[in-house]
Amino acid sequence: MIHRDALLDPIEIAKNIFWIGMKLENDPFQCLPYLIKNGDESILVDPGSMLEFDEIVRKIKLLVSIHDIKYIILHHQDPDLAASVPELEKLINRDDLRIITHSRMSLLIKHYMITSPYYEIDKEGYRLKCKSGLELEFYTTPYCHSPGAFVSYEPKTKTLFSGDIFGGIEHSWSFYADSSYFEKARLFHEEYMPSKDIFNYSLDKIAKLDIDLIAPQHGSIIKREFIADLIKDMKSLDCGLYIDKGYNEELLDTIKKLQKSQQKIKEQSAMLVEQTKRAELSEVMQNIAHQWRQPLSIISTSVGIMREKNRASTLAKEELEERFAKLEDKILYLSQTIEDFLDYYKPTKNIELFSIKEAIHKALSIIHIAEASIDIEASEISYLGCQNDLVQVLVSLISNINDIIGIRDIKNPKVLIKLSENDKIISLSIEDNCGGIDEANLSKIFDPYFSTKHSSMGTGLGLHIAREIVTKSLGGMIKAINISNNSGTIIGAKFTIELDK
């Protein structure tokens, strides 16, 4: 308990942090200005209106020279907090005086005829660092009760200057809050905070801080022992719009509709995951079949030739050795293909710095387009991420080209893979001469279940999955365009993956 006579002097509430206000008689709306004593970079916090001006100036002079104040923090733009600033500017008389506020509020605060430049927290990294080593951290609390409202945190003393939040209306005002303070805070917050969800958003931010003391602009100063329970109780407040019964009923109805929608989305997502798994399994089988078809044909042909020559007794030892060597080579190829696919489809997400060029060659070893001329223009560029994710995307794109070559019976197919970079972007493109994409389908190819292939050849999930991997896992973007020759005829398609460096 602070004795009445003690209120005539500044009161140190934390190391070098002082209350410099006054008790307004018969006024339940007590305003609490503060001073952070910090040499010639001292900070005035929410100095108040002209009602307390003379008393505040007197108390400042008991602590520091008025000219030592370099910063004035304004947590919102109301007159009970900011009206005295123009007169304070005249007394402080410093060219380097700065008004710390949010850019949303500096537009309004200027109407007090404030002349000092602004230190706008949203343009200064939400932090102030003084040459003495003193630091302040700023956290936005939008619409509590101003669009640009914020709180200030001094981490060394663990003091939070909370502006309007945690303020109270007290007919029998006490300097420090006690266990009954919630009831005094309730009246203020029910009227001033716009809604429960907006208020709780700010409270959740504040609850993450390690706070020993809360210094609000109104009401009483709150010590650590009461903070956790107070935050918990205030989260249950039906403030602002929630007081209106009609709004509450409408909100509950909206919540029920959202819950039904979420359940539907959850069910659809589960179905998509299952279909995706099936699509990936189908893709694996198709890719293995494509890789094995030619070697198996060669093996079958070699075995048939050796059988016929053996029956005719014309199979020379040298030819037998030669054919055995070819068979052995093809068998090893089949075995390596299985190893490549097993390695590729391992469910691992190793984040590492990998070579994009190496990922390209790995994809080409999994999907080998024997009929196509493939040119690679790539320098050594590394990227931090999961290599298998990029390989999966490339396999999907190359598989599409492979399918189109067969479907359209493309003569002399060509594929160009280019890798380049600038200061900001890594660009990886794959282009072909396979006739391009129907212009009517170009905007749909990344949509789930969209496919121009026969149902036996695909589900329409390949390119959709590729885009999901690029955007969500690799943090990039993927796009597709048609490419034309000099006469304007579409000759092929070009897929480009862009990754932020």
Domains of the chain (ranges, CATH numbers)? 4-243 (3.60.15.10), 348-501 (3.30.565.10)
How far apart (Å, rounded) are the C-alpha atoms in residues 455 and 451? 8
> From start to end of 356-475, where are the E strands?
373-378, 382-386, 414-421, 425-432
Taken in order 276, 279, 285, 290, the sign of the CA dihedral is negative
How far apart (Å, rounded) are the C-alpha atoms in residues 61 and 20? 10
- Residue 152 has a pLDDT of 97
- Three-state DSSP class for residue 483: strand
- Taking alpha carbons only, the member of 185, 239, 232, 183 closest to residue 207 is 232
How far apart (Å, rounded) are the C-alpha atoms in residues 206 and 216? 13
How far apart (Å, rounded) are the C-alpha atoms in residues 374 and 416? 6
Contact 471, 446 (CB under 8 A): no
Structure tokens at 480: 């597709």
How far apart (Å, rounded) are the C-alpha atoms in residues 340 and 328? 18
How far apart (Å, rounded) are the C-alpha atoms in residues 36 and 130? 12
Name, in order, each residue with C-beta under 8 angstroms of 181's C-beta and a sequence gap of 6 or more.
Answer: 168, 219, 220, 222, 226, 230
How far apart (Å, rounded) are the C-alpha atoms in residues 48 and 32? 8
- Residue 355 has a pLDDT of 93
Name, in order, each residue with C-beta under 8 angstroms of 47's C-beta and a sequence gap of 6 or more.
Answer: 33, 56, 72, 81, 82, 84, 85, 88
- Residue 337 has a pLDDT of 61
How far apart (Å, rounded) are the C-alpha atoms in residues 261 and 285? 36
The amino acid occupying position 350 is N
Q: How many helices (H) and strands (E) does the chain have?
A: 12, 20
Which residue numbers in the chain have pLDDT < 50? 454-460
- Residue 457 has a pLDDT of 42
Name, in order, each residue with C-beta under 8 angstroms of 103's C-beta and a sequence gap of 6 or more.
Answer: 118, 120, 122, 123, 148
- Give yes or no for a cis peptide into 145 (omega within 30° of 0): yes
